[in-house]
A and B are shown apart, each in its own frame.
Chain A
Amino acid sequence: MTQSMKTVLRSDELSCPSCVPKIEKALNALPGVEKATVRFNTGKIEVEHDPSQSSVEALVDAVRSTGYEARPSAF
């Protein structure tokens, strides 16, 4: 039984919407990530994931590997 939670990351570095599918695909490739949505207009990254398989830290690393710095946010 996996338990999924929603994590919100924020990035100030999204400058062209072409990064949206790139980051979404990188996050979706992680284990335990059910759904990743990148909102270009606000720079918000919403991830539904199982924290026991992919931690918040792993999400941040995945975004960083595509070349963008993001940080967890309360909302």
Chain B
Amino acid sequence: MSGVILEIKSAFAHPARRRFWLTMGSGGLIATGLLARYGFDMIELWSALMVAAALLAGSDIAVRAWRALRVRHLSIELLVTVAAVGALMIGEVWESAAVTFLFMFGAWLEVRTMGQTRGALKELLDAAPATATVLRNGEPAEIPAHEVQPGEIVLVKAGQRIPVDGEVTEGTAAVSEAAITGEPMPAEKAPGSHVHAGTIAENGLLRIRATNVGADTTLARIIQRVEEAQDEKAPSQRMIERFAQWYTPSIIGLAVLTFAFTQDIRLALTLLVVGCPGALVISTPVSIVAGIGRAARSGILIKGGQHLESAGRIDTLALDKTGTLTEGKPRLATVIALQGMSEDDLLRLAATAEGGSDHPLGRPIVEAGRKQGPLPTPETLDEHAGMGISARIEGRDVAAGNRRLMEKLGIPLGTEGEAGLERLLKAGQTPILVAADGRLIGLLGMSDMAREGAKEAIARLREIGIRRVVMLTGDQEGAAQAVAREVGIDEVHAGLMPEDKLDLIRKMKADGAHVAMVGDGINDAPALAAADTSIAMGAAGSDVAIETADIALLKDDLGKIPEAMAISRATLSNMRQNLVIALVTVAGLLAGVFSGDIHMAGGMLVHQLSVLIVIANGMRLLRVPKGARPVAGGHETSVSAAAKAATART
């Protein structure tokens, strides 16, 4: 028994728990009272119990009203207190008890549901472990995570969350970075790899030299940015807050006037009860917090309610090609062997020659050549700037490069060579011609491959209602068309200068379209700035693009674009639904009060229900499905880009 008393005592020191017990107590008294009246016809007991219930629940409301009044604030609690006391004074004990109980019970439920709405971010916050095991004087010691000093060695065992940002010094492990990138596939970490606070070592044992701790970790910076975004008020939220500012005072004025003219105290008190525009003021924030939180869980940073609102209206999407739709890294796509050469021999010679150069186009050829076996060392090597390379390999004069190199060396292409060249150019590939001892022996076609999942992402975008998907690129027509065909885009604008991209975006907007632009690199910056919504991709995006973007994808995954669009759309319509629910409730309550259909208890019930409905509706956003199948790859780069994005802002 004394244990129960202790528990009640400790509960009273904690505002939320105290309110819970007061609410339960008052609810119990009301239930007993109803039983007394309708079961045993004991009207006096019923009255007494109702007064007790009103006092119990009302005490907390009155105390809070008084405390707010002391700092000169007219609170909702004050309105409810006046209404409840007034009701007691005119003998409406049931109304008084019901109003105070419903106010407390509703608030308790609202706190719980609001907490769940904010929950998406709580997962991120909880991802940062509170303690870390550091090596001090050779001994492991457990200390609070934010007290780790940069440079100290932190031990992380299998299954533990990494408490700091740092570099692996010993050990290997598969690390799940889902908390930061939303990427479900774990990344392999070995000495030298960078790891981030909040990620989980799924196996192995790591020693990590801490570089950033506490509020300086990537995770903390991401959380800060997401919270800034959530707190940035959407235009509709600002409008509602202005409305709410005069709504409550004017309801008080209305109540006073009503009493002055009609002498109807019940009507005046009822007006006070419905005087908090609860559902209205909460309608927009709930949707935005849930929408941005849901996006953050997938590694999508939507930088505020305003951007969410405009992203939700997008009907046209423009994409840059190189580095956005494609990987931005050339690959060997076609091998055409001529003169009876085998493809293997052709590759071997070309790779050996290219091995002496560090031209980006040469790298994939060298890689492909090495797969055949070890490459010989060229006896001599000559680079021809802007043309290619020539080398003496195993006694043969080999040349690899563009058409100008062949012309310079006086090597004829022949009909076969011309046909091959034509074929490669038509397929949108960059040709490399290979010759040996004065004769063309083959052609290699280099292409920048479309990203994995690009086709699915474009299809999904159309599915969710993006009517027009356009490719804007500075690249030549053939290469652009080839990628467009592969990913399923039918509108291509190739050979554009940065200002041409800008003009096209402006033109689309002038035609009434709501345009989103996805891009990377400085040459996209003007077009990104002109678009209604700009989207920057993680690793490929430059700092400039990420800083100016309205939506930043922490990971280079095109599938995140339809997901971001789907979340924005869902959030926008969710916000509209909430506004309608709230406005209908306000109008309905006022109409009901003046027509005499709604009294105090009923008014409070409807009001609290509307708030809960609005919160519950917002919570649905947390369950917006992932847009497209997640695509593996590129963890490390995307995290560092996210880190860069977060750093640049702080």
Contacts and interface: CB of A to CB of B under 8 A. Distances in A.
A42 B289 contact: yes
B504 interface: no
Contact of B224 (A12, A69, A75): A75
Contact of A26 (B71, B223, B224, B278): B71
A55 B647 CA distance: 30
A17 B281 contact: yes
Contacts of B64: 66-67
B408 interface: no
Interface residues of B, number: 41
B285 interface: yes
Given A15-B111, A40-B285, A42-B227, A22 B16 contact: no
A15 B114 contact: yes
B68 interface: yes
Interface of B is mostly: helix
Interface of B: 14-16, 19, 60, 63-64, 67-68, 71-73, 75-76, 107, 110-111, 114-115, 118, 121, 146, 214-215, 220, 223-224, 227, 230-231, 241, 244, 248, 276, 278, 281-282, 285, 288-289, 611
Given A15-B107, A41-B285, A75-B214, 13 more contacts: A14-B111, A14-B114, A15-B114, A17-B241, A17-B285, A18-B278, A22-B75, A26-B68, A39-B227, A42-B121, A65-B67, A66-B68, A75-B223
Given A12-B118, A22-B68, A17 B227 contact: no
Nearest to A8: B215
Interface string A36-68: 000111111000000000000000000011111
17 contacts: A12-B111, A15-B111, A15-B282, A16-B278, A17-B241, A18-B75, A18-B248, A18-B276, A22-B73, A26-B71, A40-B285, A41-B288, A42-B231, A42-B289, A43-B118, A69-B14, A75-B215
Contacts of B110: 15-16
B15 to A, nearest CB: 5
Contacts of B75: 18, 22
A15 B115 CA distance: 8
A28 to B, nearest CB: 8
A15 B14 CA distance: 17
A39 B111 CA distance: 15
A1 interface: no
A40 B231 CA distance: 7
Contacts of B73: 21-22, 25
B67 A26 contact: yes
B71 A41 contact: no
Contacts of B611: 16
Contacts of B118: 12, 42-43
Ranked 4 nearest A-B pairs via Cβ: A15-B110, A75-B215, A25-B71, A39-B231
A41 B230 contact: yes
A13 B288 contact: no
A71 B322 CA distance: 48
Interface string A1-36: 000000000001111111001100110110000000
B72 A25 contact: yes
Contacts of A41: 230-231, 285, 288-289
